[in-house]
Amino acid sequence: MTILIEEKLSHFTLETLHAEIDAKTTHILKRNIINSYAGICGSMYDTEMLAKFDRMVDIAPLASGLSVWGTGRPGTHADAIFLNTILGRRSDLLNTYFSPNDMGVAHPSDNVSLVLTLADWLGTSGSDVLALTHLAYMLAGVFSDYYFPESIDYDHDAAAVFYTTLIIGCALGLSADELTNAQRVAGGMGLDTNQSGLDRVTDWKHCTYASCALRGLFAAKLAKAGIDGPYEIYQGTAGVDRFFPHAEKMFDKMPDLGSVVFKRWPALVFCQTPIDVALDLAPKLGDPASIKKIDVRTYEMCASVAAVEAAWRPDSRAGRTHSFPYCVAAVLAKGSIAYQDFDPPYAEDPTLKELIAKVAVTADASMTVAFPAKSPCSITVTRSDGTVETASRDCPHGDPADPLSDAEIEEKLRTYFFFAEGDKASKVIDRIVHLEQLPNVNDLAAPLKRRRI
């Protein structure tokens, strides 16, 4: 009898959840959790977004419930899972996994905000958090190796509706049969299109994974209650496989969690190398007003995602963090880049807008062939007097070929940690380093629960 994909995934999920995690993988996971926590903290600086969360919770206020981070208030479980996972991505400091096969992509760190929210809800121990994070990272990688939804205009998060369902299902104690049905229910709820990343990019770009987690919650609960979803959700006549290029050998080779790219800058992963190159160039340029043109060469994937026509006139934070010309111009204009540089008033600076208009991006054939093993970029700046400055890199600092050290990842958390008093950031880092010794995540989650608005 043929075993269906949803059945294979259920068994793989439970086997992975209960597998022993070796010391090397444990260290990788802890690096990722510290890095992801830094990204969540970075998102807490967006008080405008937190105010929207507050208004949403206020529509149906609760005396008790699950904490919505940054608001200091309880919300429904659906509120908390959706809004907290937005904070996992909002800062754009999340990490990235590129498939070595079909070049699918996922942000495994999205899952950390989901796992911490589930652990807070269910009173989960630190060792269980580590196991669930390991599962989440493996599933994100497996689905990226298996599907490349962006090739036909589905969001790269489209498959996350299935693996968030499996993560939440495991946290809720679903059996293999229930996990199988939960995937069917999740698929019946629909998939994300890629419109959020095309044309005019709005703040929904930071909500795509969260929308999957929200559906994943309901899918897992519905399956636990015994409500059947559509059979053969992947391989059926109208199954989701018809929307994705399908790789037949889903479980033949497991994802390499050590290949995850860490971001130093709060921007799209494809903008990391250009930002580093621009930072190399900026000290040599002098007055930005002397710049006549900025010629950039990079690989096709980068150009097709971050250098679309709308990237020259972004009008939202997400639009700016996903704009190649904005990122390059912002660095060249001031010689640095910071979280607030993607928001007004800096985003509306006339000098910056003039510089953005001078950026030209070309997809280079030799660089395209090098991706995804490398993510190269070369920038040539021509001044009004005809003099030229050029710089290039094969990958950003944070790529596995040029990795961030443990100390740099820890410093990233300290940089974005939002409490001035004491050395609370170091305490958070220490708790993550000793995660398997924690009886629960209360102390780890406590800073995130404070009201920031």
Tell me: do 66 and 166 sit in the same domain. yes
Is 410 within the bounds of a domain? Answer: no
Domain boundary among 259, 286, 307: 259
Tell me: do 103 and 179 sit in the same domain. yes
Range of the domain at 222: 5-259
Tell me: do 125 and 203 sit in the same domain. yes
Kindly state the DSSP code that residue 60 receives in the 8-state scheme. Answer: S
What pLDDT is stored for residue 197 in this prediction?
74
What pLDDT is stored for residue 225 in this prediction?
98
Is 319 within the bounds of a domain? Answer: yes
Tell me: do 228 and 279 sit in the same domain. no
Domain count, the chain: 2
Is 444 within the bounds of a domain? Answer: no
Is 324 within the bounds of a domain? Answer: yes
Is 325 within the bounds of a domain? Answer: yes
What pLDDT is stored for residue 247 in this prediction?
63
Is 414 within the bounds of a domain? Answer: no
pLDDT, mean of each 10-residue run, the chain (453 residues): 89 97 97 97 94 95 94 96 97 91 83 98 97 97 87 87 98 98 96 82 89 98 97 91 74 91 95 97 92 96 91 92 96 93 94 95 96 94 96 97 97 87 87 97 95 92
Is 406 within the bounds of a domain? Answer: no
Tell me: do 230 and 316 sit in the same domain. no
Tell me: do 351 and 217 sit in the same domain. no
Spell 46-85 as b/e; 16+ CB within 10 A means b. Answer: beebbebbbeebeeeeeeebbbbbbbebbbeeebbbbbbb
What pLDDT is stored for residue 146 in this prediction?
84
Tell me: do 169 and 194 sit in the same domain. yes
What pLDDT is stored for residue 421 in this prediction?
61
Tell me: do 239 and 274 sit in the same domain. no
Domain boundary among 259, 280, 315: 259
Tell me: do 39 and 179 sit in the same domain. yes
What pLDDT is stored for residue 241 in this prediction?
86
Any idea what the CATH number is for the domain that residue 169 is in?
Answer: 1.10.4100.10
Distance, CA of 12 to CA of 251 (rounded, Å): 9
CB-count burial class (<10 Å; 0-12, 13-18, 19+) for 336:
exposed
What pLDDT is stored for residue 450 in this prediction?
94
Distance, CA of 167 to CA of 40 (rounded, Å): 19
What value, to the nearest 5°, has the Cα angle with vertex 323 and ends 317 and 325?
A: 125
141: left (phi over 0), alpha (psi -120 to 50) or beta: alpha
Domain boundary among 259, 283, 302: 259
Q: What is the DSSP string of 97-166?
A: EE-SSS--EE-TTHHHHHHHHHHHHHT--HHHHHHHHHHHHHHHHHHHHH--GGGGTB-TTTTHHHHHHH
Tell me: do 250 and 280 sit in the same domain. no
Tell me: do 275 and 208 sit in the same domain. no
What pLDDT is stored for residue 314 in this prediction?
93
Distance, CA of 129 to CA of 132 (rounded, Å): 5
Tell me: do 333 and 286 sit in the same domain. yes
What pLDDT is stored for residue 103 in this prediction?
64
Distance, CA of 73 to CA of 63 (rounded, Å): 9
Any idea what the CATH number is for the domain that residue 333 is in?
Answer: 3.30.1330.120
Is 346 within the bounds of a domain? Answer: yes
What pLDDT is stored for residue 244 in this prediction?
76
